[in-house]
Amino acid sequence: MMCDFFHSLCADPVNAIGGWFVLLPAAVLLLAAAASVVLRNLIHAALCLTLSFIALGVVYLALGAEFVGFVQLLVYVGAVAMVIVFAILLTRPDELERSRSFFAGFGPAGGAAAALATLAVLLGAIFTSPTGDRPMPPAVAVPVADLGKALMGDYVVALIVIGVLLTAALVGAAVLAMEDEP
């Protein structure tokens, strides 16, 4: 299925422009994620991570999942990235200490070997999975109203449980941040 995707992209670029709108942000996503792991400067790494969030949002949008795409941007870029940023701002790691982990002794060759091994396992799993041979279901544009009805109807228990969890987290954060009365 993926080979067909690439074939259609290369054969008829103009009409398959929708495919390019998925491929290019996906490439940006991979590059940004790789950069955020590799870069030494913490801020640059955090900003590349934010870029990867944005790219993922664009991929969702290009795939037609409007609501998920915007929520990805709103939550990940607007909230998660801000949490990361605040963590960096408040802890101010001026000198980046390169901590020596157990595996660091093997040097870059060891890291490359581990990465290649992981990639080989993942690719093997992806290409041998039966999902690719199943016919693609018709892409149905889910209107936001239906999503809302599903959340409030079929999945309302999950919604409320998550809400309670988030409230507990908020209360806990407030308690942690509260200073003791003198």
Binding residues (CB under 8 A) for another protein: these are 14, 41, 43-44, 47, 50, 54, 57, 66-67, 70-71, 73-74, 77-79, 81-82, 85-86, 88-90, 143-145
CB 129, min distance to another protein, A: 32
**Are the C-beta atoms of residues 107 and 53 closer than 8 Å to each other?**
no
CB 182, min distance to another protein, A: 8
- Taking the alpha carbons of 55, 58, 64, 69 in that order, is the dihedral positive or negative? positive
**Rounded-to-integer distance, Cα 74 and Cα 80, Å:** 9
**Nearer residue to another protein within complex by CB, 22 or 51:** 51
CB 158, min distance to another protein, A: 20
**Nearer residue to another protein within complex by CB, 22 or 57:** 57
**Nearer residue to another protein within complex by CB, 117 or 156:** 156
**Nearer residue to another protein within complex by CB, 113 or 164:** 164
Q: Using CA atoms in the order 21, 2, 36, 90, what is the torsion angle rounded to 10 degrees?
A: 70
* Distance linking the first and last C-alpha atoms of the chain: 66
CB 50, min distance to another protein, A: 6
**Rounded-to-integer distance, Cα 35 and Cα 88, Å:** 18
